[in-house]
Amino acid sequence: MDKKMSLTPALLEAIITTQEHEITCSECFELLDEYVELLQSGADPAAYFPQVANHLDHCPDCDEECQALLSVLQAIAGESGVALSNSRGRWPKWFSSLLGQGRG
Count of alpha carbons within 13 angstroms of residue 81, beta-carbon side:
0
Distance (Å, whole) CA 34 – CA 38: 6
Is the pTM of the predicted complex or chain greater than 0.85? no
pLDDT at res. 16: 65
DSSP state, residue 87: T
What would the pLDDT profile of 63-100 be if each residue is shown by its tens digit? 999 999 988 888 887 764 443 444 444 455 555 555 55
Q: Provide the residue ranges of all domains of the chain, joining segments of one domain with +.
A: 20-98
